[in-house]
Amino acid sequence: MPVDPEVTMIKRLLLVASTNRRLEKLMSTSPLARGLVSRYVAGDTLQEAIAVTRELRAHGIDVSLDLLGETVDDLAESAIATKAYVEAVRAIAENRLGATVSVKLSQLGIGLDPAVCADHLDELLRAAAEVGVPVEIDMEHSSVGPATLEAFRAAVHDHPGTRIAIQAAMRRTPGDLESFTGVTPRIRLVKGAFLEPIEKSLQERKEITAQYRYLADWALVNLPDPAFGTHDDACIDHVKRSADRLGIARRDFEFQMLHGVRRDVQRALAEEGYRIRVYLPYGMQWYPYLMRRMAERPANLLLFLRSLVSG
Ligand code: FDA
């Protein structure tokens, strides 16, 4: 399929906008954005996220809870985010939700002080291990990506159940995957959601999909319990076919999708006997998350603009 230059431009604009603090302030206080937010976000509070988790589990869909919030301005904020995550893992265990948590290390302060971030991550991983809740680490923009991978590398020996997101689009990814020694990492393979320069990242959709499929096969063969974070039929069908060919059972890997995206496919996968986990954000700091979701599907921007016009 040829790449539509207008769509590509809107996508880039949305990704640039996702990091604009002034726009964030403007949008975050606009009641008009709420409709779109509620499609992707469970609610403002952990309690609301727990309620949505229960609903999803009734349909055979597991959850990974994500407390919204990314780059923090000071380390006090990162300490607060860490406590909130500890509260979330305890609530998951108390309520027997079978969920994981997904955490962004920029929220734990990796951009300010990697040593303090490592302490926060350790606090969270210990609290999670105490109650038996797995932790997943999101992969962010390349400005913090390598540091995120190093933090994971340092933590994974003590906490081998931890999962790290790996971006198929990034040129360094195959080397990163080959570079683990003494541990075979649990990964969530995603395409990559950030605006990256051509030296660092594949840019063409077709190329990224091909790389995703190649890495998916590699993960199925080489890694324990891989997770495939995608809504793309071309990738989902490829994973299903490869697993069949390799004789890997449907419960020995996992599909992951974002809350609010392709719910019909989520349910169909569960009904077919595949494991499916939904990434479920909650909290107030939804702006950058929402803008990335709109960049993934610029048609969503039209929905949003329509809601602005119609009030
Ligand atoms: P693609 O973008 O081709 O979408 C396939 C189809 O899915 C579209 O045609 C559309 O129908 C539907 N779709 C996709 N996105 C949609 C949206 N936002 N709204 C409505 N429909 C949509 N990235 C990253 O860099 N670091 C990370 O840690 C993570 N973590 C993560 C966890 C999970 C569970 C998922 C599913 C995704 C991520 N991502 C991520 C995001 C990922 O990198 C990627 O940007 C999106 O998944 C979109 O790529 P797809 O593979 O879904 O294909």
Domains contained in the chain, number: 1
Domain of 47 in residue numbering reads as: 42-285
**Of the listed 66, 163, 176, 188, which one is catalytic?**
188
The per-residue pLDDT for range 257-282, each reduced to its tens digit, is 999 999 999 999 999 999 999 999 99
The per-residue pLDDT for 1 is 42
Indicate whether residue 193 lines ligand 1 (CB < 6 A): yes
Indicate whether residue 192 lines ligand 1 (CB < 6 A): yes
The per-residue pLDDT for range 95-118, each reduced to its tens digit, is 999 999 999 999 999 999 999 999
Reported confidence tier of residue 309, pLDDT bands at 50, 70, 90: low
* Burial class of 179 by CB neighbour count within 10 A (0 to 12, 13 to 18, 19+): exposed
Can you tell me the distance from the alpha carbon of 118 to that of 152, in angstroms, rounded to the nearest whole number?
9
The per-residue pLDDT for 269 is 98
Q: Quick check: is 27 in a domain?
A: no
Indicate whether residue 256 lines ligand 1 (CB < 6 A): yes
The answer to whether 145 and 187 have CB atoms below 8 angstroms apart is no
Q: Quick check: is 138 in a domain?
A: yes
**Count of other CB atoms within 10 angstroms of residue 53:** 26
Ligand 1, atom 18: closest residue by C-alpha: 293
Q: Quick check: is 81 in a domain?
A: yes
Q: Quick check: is 300 in a domain?
A: no
Can you tell me the distance from the alpha carbon of 16 to that of 57, in angstroms, rounded to the nearest whole number?
35
Q: List the alpha helices (DSSP H) in 166-298.
A: 173-178, 205-222, 233-246, 263-271, 287-296
Question: Can 62 be counted among the known catalytic residues?
Answer: no
* φ, ψ at 205 (rounded to 5°): -50, -45
Ligand 1, atom 21: closest residue by C-alpha: 261
Q: Which of 21 and 47 is assigned the larger pLDDT?
A: 47
The per-residue pLDDT for range 61-105, each reduced to its tens digit, is 999 999 999 888 899 999 999 999 999 999 999 999 999 999 999
Q: Quick check: is 25 in a domain?
A: no
Question: Can 188 be counted among the known catalytic residues?
Answer: yes
Q: In the predicted model, what is the mean pLDDT of residues 224-243?
A: 98
Q: Quick check: is 311 in a domain?
A: no
Can you tell me the distance from the alpha carbon of 229 to that of 165, in angstroms, rounded to the nearest whole number?
9
3 pLDDT exceeds 60? no
Can you tell me the distance from the alpha carbon of 33 to that of 206, in angstroms, rounded to the nearest whole number?
32
The per-residue pLDDT for range 29-44, each reduced to its tens digit, is 777 777 788 889 999 9
The answer to whether 227 and 255 have CB atoms below 8 angstroms apart is yes
Can you tell me the distance from the alpha carbon of 108 to that of 302, in angstroms, rounded to the nearest whole number?
34
Tokens of 116: 């303090």
Q: Which residue from 201, 215, 258 has its CB within 8 A of the most atoms of ligand 1, so it is best to mutate? A: 258
* Long-range CB contacts (within 8 A, 24+) of 152-157: 152/185, 153/180, 154/118, 155/118, 155/121, 155/122, 155/125, 156/183, 156/185, 157/182, 157/183
Ligand 1, atom 9: closest residue by C-alpha: 232
Can you tell me the distance from the alpha carbon of 160 to that of 185, in angstroms, rounded to the nearest whole number?
7
Can you tell me the distance from the alpha carbon of 258 to that of 277, in angstroms, rounded to the nearest whole number?
9
Q: Quick check: is 111 in a domain?
A: yes
Task: Specify the DSSP element, H or E, that contains 186.
Answer: strand 186-190
Indicate whether residue 279 lines ligand 1 (CB < 6 A): yes
- CATH number of domain containing 273: 3.20.20.220
Q: Quick check: is 94 in a domain?
A: yes
Q: For the whole model, what pTM was predicted?
A: 0.93
* Average confidence score pLDDT of the chain: 92
